[in-house]
Amino acid sequence: MKQTSHIPLLLLALSLGASAQPDQTRVDTGLDSTDVITWRRLQISDFHGKRPPGAFGTGMIRPVAVTCAYVIINPAARIFPIPIVDSTAQTIYRARVEGLSYHALMSRSCSWWNRDLGVSPAYVLQHEQMHFDIFEIAARRLNRDVPGLLKVMDVRGPTVQAVVDRAQRHIERTLARAQEETAGRNHKFDTETSFGFELQRQASWRMVLDRDLQQVKDYAVTLEELTPLPQIDERPRRRPTQ
């Protein structure tokens, strides 16, 4: 029986560092997969960076904290090119995607905490937590929309590679749109809360984010589900000789 090949989706990331400092919301940094955590309640000890990442370390005023957060596609997701026969009796391929889910991560080795900050640590930690929450909300909303995405994604092509590439681009565009929306929301949050000690404004945002998290609580994916699928050797095997 002919086996269907499976090709992993690319590991994609929202690369956005969010800090409690105005007009500084983007860090051009790669995902350090050796020291990441999925969404949870943050502690000051989660900030392992030795210096502010990217442009945060070059300004006149150092930020009080920087959180490097990401949304990724489950690395265990797969695109299966399924052979079908079209109306002209030609064999083409249709994409079937399995295991597609999205996850918010924080890179602890990138995230940085200013030990000399002159602002309430509790306020700053809540601020950074809320940035992480915004990414988690984005990931859960993407997970909520996966069934609809796959339902309308009728990707077909003449070759295995063509159909995989088209399906890949379709999923990448979905993540790119989420990236833009999440970047905008983080920027709005910083604009409204980072110009000094804005306790009331931050409390208002906390209520909004708690509501959003509750609305999509059923679409969170746990760490265990991020475990990559085992590698399968699909090479043809010779029968043992007598």
Q: What is the pLDDT of residues 97-153, one digit of tens each?
A: 999 999 999 999 999 999 887 778 998 999 999 999 999 999 999 999 999 999 888
On whether residue 123 sits in a domain, the answer given is yes
Separation of alpha carbons 136 and 103, rounded Å? 7
C-beta separation of 99 from 76 below 8 A: yes
Domain that holds residue 215: 9-78+98-222
Q: Over the stretch 53-96, which tens digit does the pLDDT of each residue have?
A: 876 656 566 788 889 998 988 888 999 999 999 888 889 999 99
Residue 52, φ and ψ in degrees, nearest 5? -65, 135
Residue 235 within any structural domain of the chain:
no
Q: Is residue 88 situated within a structural domain?
A: no
Verdict on whether the full-model pTM lies above 0.85: no
4 falls within a domain: no
Tokens matching residue 77: 């997701």
Asked whether residue 215 carries a pLDDT value surpassing 80, the answer given is: yes
Q: What one-character DSSP code corresponds to residue 88?
A: T
Q: CB burial class (10 A; 0-12, 13-18, 19+) of residue 166?
A: middle
Asked if residue 86 is part of any domain, the answer here is no
Q: How many domains is the chain built from?
A: 1
Query: Considering the domain boundaries, does residue 118 fall inside one?
Result: yes
Asked, for residue 83, whether it belongs to a domain, the answer is: no
